[in-house]
Structure 1
């Protein structure tokens, strides 16, 4: 019988056979990146090959960025001229078009309406909504065309009513609608815009809340998966929306909440 020649590999070298990191050669800006969801997202993008600029008003952002071998920028995005500072930092990094913008920066501390004053409400709206719109507007000319990605971080509390989070909830609802609106504007340029709506996540923002038995009863017990999210689980969904795999997903607001919104099931006992 004739001997068959071994199949010729479609790879020319061992290097060719190795899969390239998902975001190799791409540049990302992640806001609110000193800790929590933002830090987890910056780490995920970095591990997948992206060059990442981490932005946060906390000094900790530099330490977080250095640990990843990335660049950190201490900046309050609600301050005048914030966008110019981000653009200047990108210029200093000598990068090309911006591939990914993740708008995660936000603050909590909402209250019942009668307990709120104008300064308190304005700060929540400024940081959680207005600053996101302004930064996205000013960075959008840098976004790659086609192929740019904008991923915003909304909240399940921007999708349902929840007593005591009126300022925060209204701002996060604005983020969801902003994402839909912007998807219609940037879509013709080949840029996708999406948002995630996290449920309760184990971050510094929720630490104090989780000490309350009433909070756990109302916000944690109804989660069908029976636990709260970890930041890396939110980051994984953000990375998907920023990737080529999500090239035909735009204008979506995706709950990442363990099924909380879909079912709102009552806690039950198996006893």
Structure 2
């Protein structure tokens, strides 16, 4: 395995499980120092403890709290005196009819999935501009087209995709690239209920060109590509990691 990020430093949110954990591990394997951030202390601590001490630092933080971001960024600077990559990955969702979703549920999803991306970007940019670094956000196929009964998540992820493009425009002149991955069905803690529903799994498989859900490591590989010098002329891109889900126009297979 190469060392594309030797001597570089990344912050990864939602690093206690799923895509965030896989991404943090991949950065460490490629030589980076990583600040792992998650709202659940036990999870993020356990992941960090399984990584080389010299390359991993964990923090429990609520990324929906704008003030917490200064602590997160300061941790990277205090430990390694630089910041090269920010991965805004933390997320949550709720489902239900719009009339059943409470304002508190709406705020929780939008603050965690969308506002945190703005807060993190704002806090990290002064340092990323110094290193001509990059940002990779986790959007979703649900940010490109909508789902039934998931309006807060759809709205938040749609915002992430367009914010990514806006931030790319605003920061290209500083040498900072801003991109996003748009995962489809990925088997993580967040999709555990779907994994246990055989009928639902079958329905998903019929809509995915590759006929299966993805793995967190497959998304992490896309994140590292976008953050690396290999993607030096890519910014403002939303990269689907969805097994071909968005290749479909949504209609069922026809004879």
If the length of structure 2 is used for normalisation, what is the TM-score? 0.93
1:212 matches 2:197: yes
Q: What CA distance in whole angstroms lies between the structure 1 residues aligned with 2:134 and 2:187?
A: 26
Give the total of aligned pairs.
250
Q: Is the 8 A contact 1:224 1:265 kept in 2?
A: no
The one of 33, 49, 54 equivalent to 1:66 is 49
Structure 1 residue 80: Cα displacement: 4.6
SS of equivalent residue, structure 1 residue 68: coil
SS of equivalent residue, structure 2 residue 135: strand
1:48 matches 2:30: yes
Unaligned residue ranges in structure 1 (runs of 5+)? 1-18
Aligned residue number for residue 15 of structure 1 = none
Q: Is the alpha carbon distance of 1:105 and 1:66 closer, same or farther for their aligned partners in structure 2, counting shifts above 3 Å?
A: same
Matching of residues 3-22 of structure 1 within 5 Å: 21-22=3-4
Matching of residues 7-156 of structure 1 within 5 Å: 21-59=3-41, 60-69=43-52, 70-93=56-79, 95-145=80-130, 147-156=132-141
Structure 1 residue 92: Cα displacement: 3.1
Q: What CA distance in whole angstroms lies between the structure 2 residues aligned with 1:103 and 1:208?
A: 24
Aligned residue number for residue 165 of structure 1 = 150
> Which structure: greater helix fraction?
2
Whose radius of gyration is greater, 1 or 2? 1
1:256 matches 2:241: yes
Aligned residue number for residue 226 of structure 2 = 241
If the length of structure 1 is used for normalisation, what is the TM-score? 0.87
SS of equivalent residue, structure 1 residue 143: helix
Q: What CA distance in whole angstroms lies between the structure 1 residues aligned with 2:60 and 2:39?
A: 5
Give the RMSD, CA atoms, in angstroms.
1.8
SS of equivalent residue, structure 2 residue 148: coil
Q: What CA distance in whole angstroms lies between the structure 2 residues aligned with 1:175 and 1:162?
A: 16
